[in-house]
């Protein structure tokens, strides 16, 4: 490990909010890993679908049997636990895929420049022109329901952010002495990008990926909340919150007794997003002290 990296890691772990972010994420990882123990699924059923536990559509408050209560005939605790897996899956897969595409496009644009750069950047303009949520909504609607469709829609409309970032970094790194030296030695373009340019631009990409993780999970949940993403009954925090919506509009004076319908899935979401934001903040502070806030 390089001296610089080690120093940055030490800075990361001496930062209180960074540590809090890592601890929170650790808790979520544990919940996701031990989901079958925390909320055992019925044998022979797809564990990602929340089983129906009552016949009445009315929500039930927390009890011994259902510690977080019941919403939409389904156990909220079960949904929150298995929803953790859903959140991780969406966040990680979409971030990985969009970052990979972004790295490829951004490297092409930044390294080869000129017309290719101009064209690719105008394409990113177009993809960024429609608001992220609206664009994802349109594509999910067209593709149909299902978590895989949601992920495709999110990837299609989020690769531009890492692409822009990596392009800017490459434009900076490209002028450095060691790149010019490698070029004059006759090293091939691909090798220069892979061995010299990308490693020097990778930390900003990682920081951005961590910051984007939160907004991706929010957008995916927003789609489920609107009834567009996950199929009916799928263990997803946004879908659980969707059950709460109509009860909150039900009329004044009566809604506070349904607090558990928002508090548990909503709390899980906020903490999950907060963990990634804190981690992203701390990573940036550690690796790029100039941007500290």
Partner 1 sequence: MLEPHGDCGPHGAWFALMIFYILRRLLFLPLTLFGISLLIFLMIGFLGPYQRLATFINSPERLKGADVDKLVELYGLNDPLIIQYGRWLKNVLRGNLGWSYVGKEPVLSAILKRFPYTLELTLFAAIPIIFLGTSLGVLAALNHNKPLDHGLRIFAVVGWSFPDFVFGLFVLMIFYGTLGWFPPGNLSVWAEEIVKSPHFRNFTGMLTLDALLNGRFDVFLDALRHLAGPVLTLTYVEFAFLLRITRSSMLEVLRKEYVRTARAKGLDERVVIHKHAKRNALIPVATVSGQTVIGLLAGTVIVETIFNRTGLGSFIALASQQLDYASIMGGSLFFGLILVIGNLCVDLSYALIDPRVRLE
Query: Using CB under 8 A as the criterion, which residues of the chain lie in contact with partner 1 when the complex forms?
Result: 17, 122-123, 125-127, 129-135, 137-143, 214, 218, 221-222, 225-228, 238, 241, 244-245, 248-256, 258-259, 262, 266, 269-270, 273-274, 277-278, 281, 291, 293
Nearer to partner 1, 44 or 251 (CB): 251
CB 221 within 8 A of CB 64: no
Estimate to the nearest angstrom the gap between the alpha carbon of 247 and the chain centroid.
28
Q: Checking DSSP bridges between strand 70-71 and strand 74-75, what pairing results, if any? A: antiparallel
CB 71 within 8 A of CB 241: no
Q: Which residues pair with 49 in a beta bridge?
A: 234
DSSP state of 68: T
Nearer to partner 1, 55 or 256 (CB): 256
Nearer to partner 1, 233 or 266 (CB): 266
| Shortest separation between residue 133's beta carbon and partner 1, angstroms | 6
Nearer to partner 1, 154 or 192 (CB): 154
| Shortest separation between residue 198's beta carbon and partner 1, angstroms | 22
Nearer to partner 1, 49 or 258 (CB): 258
List b or e across 55-86, with b for residues whose CB sees 16 or more CB atoms inside 10 angstroms.
Answer: eeeebbebeeebebbbbbbbbbbbbbbbbbbb
| Shortest separation between residue 225's beta carbon and partner 1, angstroms | 5
| Shortest separation between residue 41's beta carbon and partner 1, angstroms | 26
| Shortest separation between residue 130's beta carbon and partner 1, angstroms | 5
Q: Whole-angstrom Cα distance, residue 276 to residue 18?
A: 9
Q: Whole-angstrom Cα distance, residue 89 to residue 73?
A: 25
Nearer to partner 1, 40 or 227 (CB): 227
| Shortest separation between residue 115's beta carbon and partner 1, angstroms | 14
Hey, is 232 helix, strand or coil?
coil
């Amino acid at each position: 490990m390089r001296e610089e990296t080690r120093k940055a890691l030490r800075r990361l772990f001496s930062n209180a909010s960074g540590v809090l972010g890592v601890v929170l994420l650790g808790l979520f990882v544990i919940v996701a890993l031990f989901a079958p123990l925390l909320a055992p699924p019925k044998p022979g059923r797809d564990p990602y679908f929340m089983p129906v536990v009552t016949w009445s559509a009315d929500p039930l408050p927390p009890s011994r049997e259902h510690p977080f209560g019941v919403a939409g005939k389904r156990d909220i605790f079960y949904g929150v636990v298995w929803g953790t897996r859903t959140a991780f899956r969406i966040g990680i897969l979409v971030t990985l895929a969009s970052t990979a595409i972004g790295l490829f496009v951004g490297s092409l644009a930044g390294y080869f420049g000129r017309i290719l750069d101009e064209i690719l950047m105008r394409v990113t303009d177009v993809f960024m022109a429609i608001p992220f949520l609206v664009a994802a909504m349109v594509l999910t609607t067209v593709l149909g329901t299902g978590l895989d469709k949601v992920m495709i829609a999110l990837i299609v409309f989020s690769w531009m952010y890492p692409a822009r970032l990596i392009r800017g970094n490459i434009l900076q790194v490209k002028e450095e002495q060691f790149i010019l030296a490698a070029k004059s030695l006759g090293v091939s373009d691909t090798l220069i990008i892979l061995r010299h340019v990308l490693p020097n631009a990778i930390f900003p990409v990682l920081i951005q990926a961590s910051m984007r993780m939160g907004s991706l999970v929010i957008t995916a949940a927003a789609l489920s909340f609107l009834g567009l993403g996950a199929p009916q009954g799928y263990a997803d925090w946004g879908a659980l919150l969707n059950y709460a919506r109509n009860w909150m509009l039900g009329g004044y004076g009566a809604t506070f007794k349904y607090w558990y319908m928002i508090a548990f899935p909503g709390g899980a979401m906020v903490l999950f997003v907060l963990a990634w934001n804190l981690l992203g903040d701390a990573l940036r502070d550690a690796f790029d002290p100039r941007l500290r806030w």
